[in-house]
Amino acid sequence: MAKKRALITGITGQDGSYLAEYLLEQGYDVIGMIRRSSTVNFERIHHIQDKVTLVAGDLLDEVSMINLLRDHRPSEVYNLAAQSFVQTSFSQPVFTGEVTGLGVTRILDAVRVVDPGIRFYQASSSEMFGKVQAVPQSETTPFYPRSPYGVAKLYGHWITVNYRESYDMYACSGILFNHESPRRGLEFVTRKITNAVARIKLGKDKELRLGNLDAKRDWGYAKDYVRAMHLMLQQNTPDDYVVSTGETYSVRRFCEIAFGHVGLKYEDYVVIDERFYRPAEVELLVGDPAKANRELGWKPEVTFEQLVTMMVESDLAANK
């Protein structure tokens, strides 16, 4: 049987790197779309660089994606590329809309033009629930985004549904709640905390400046979540799924566990800094993963405490 071939946009990101590893393990040919930059940023994929094919393209340029699809003929496309940092979306709302919102139409349309039989995964987000209308949030909970990023993701979600319904495409939207790992970008709160804990413990920093400690998130492990993406594209019919742990913790609790793991108290080091507050906040996210459990057979394997301590240990090793 011919090898399955998948295209991943955003392969240099946290999720892209784990998904590429996972698909290679499943025997796929993996094509990664990378955008041109003046310096190479392959830290997350350097260990698999010789096993994947990297091709230039950009979510801002539909022609680049049409050519890429024509040249490489994948059977599955995972659209993980985005301007993914919520805080930045407030200072760059139009750019975020172009990439994170309209970018989805460009790649979906490229798929439609080249081969509408290609299976398509869209990286949608719990940020779309924003000011939550129900607790916990499921596939049927109404959306109420609270950031330009959330609004752009909502556009991406609905255009995916629209292409599925208009052109009979196998297009799925995975509504993933926050997922973290040692490969998380340093600007996101979890990695910002675990990296600071390591640096403070090793005497390299004295304090950690944070914003809203009372925000609550449903945090899972990125490696668990990429399995759900793959499962969504292996079903008989395309559908949308919430992927989450079903548990929620505050940023404060994350700090408590992370500092506690190295024998420190977060109250002694965390300084509240107004700069890290957002113009509109998402106060509480907690997902109901029942549909993904039931229909995909998906369950997370790493607990919240295991995730926090894994990230602290990794940052301790990296900062030594």
Give catalytic residues, as residue numbers: 125, 127, 149
The distance of closest approach from Cβ of residue 304 to ligand NAP in the complex, given in angstroms and rounded to an integer, is 14
Q: How far is CA 245 from CA 188, 202, 242, 276, 304, in A?
A: 19, 32, 10, 26, 9
What is the C-alpha separation between 272 and 257, in angstroms, rounded? 18
CB 248 within 8 A of CB 214: no
Question: Which residue number, 79 or 178, has a Cβ lying nearer to ligand GDD?
Answer: 178
Residue 125 makes contact with ligand NAP by CB under 6 A: yes
The answer to whether 319 and 198 are in contact (CB under 8 A) is: yes
Closer to ligand GDD by Cβ: residue 57 or 287: 287
Q: Which stretch binds ligand GDD (CB under 6 A): 16-24, 211-219, 260-268, 297-305?
A: 211-219
What x/- string results for residues 229 through 258 when contact with ligand GDD is judged by CB under 6 A? ----------------------x-------
Q: Which positions ≥6 away from 13 have C-beta within 8 Å?
A: 44, 80, 81, 84, 185
Of 106, 146, 164, 217, the one binding ligand GDD (CB under 6 A) is: 217
Pick between residue 112 and residue 278 the one whose CB is nearest to ligand GDD. 278
Q: Could you tell me the smallest distance in angstroms from the CB atom of residue 187 to ligand NAP?
A: 9
Tokens 């052109």 locate to: 167
Identify whether 136 is preceded by a cis peptide bond (ω within 30 of 0). yes
By CB under 6 A, name the one of 6, 7, 12, 208 that touches ligand NAP. Answer: 12
Does the protein bind ligand NAP through residue 185 (CB under 6 A)? yes
Percent helix, percent strand, percent coil in the chain, to nearest 5: 45, 15, 40
Contact 258, 197 (CB under 8 A): yes
Residue 35 binds which of ligand NAP, ligand GDD, none (CB < 5-8 A, kind-dependent):
ligand NAP
Name which of ligand GDD, ligand NAP, none residue 52 binds, using a CB cut-off of 5 to 8 Å depending on partner kind: none
User: By CB under 6 A, is residue 14 in contact with ligand NAP?
Assistant: yes
CA distance 57 to 129: 30
CA distance 169 to 192: 39
Q: Are 196 and 273 in contact (CB under 8 A)?
A: no
**Among the listed residues 7, 30, 65, 99, the single contact to ligand NAP using CB under 6 A:** 99
Shortest CB 237 distance to ligand GDD, Å: 25
Q: Which residues bind ligand GDD (CB under 6 A)?
A: 84, 86-87, 125-127, 177-178, 187-190, 192, 210-212, 215, 217, 251, 276, 278, 281-282, 285
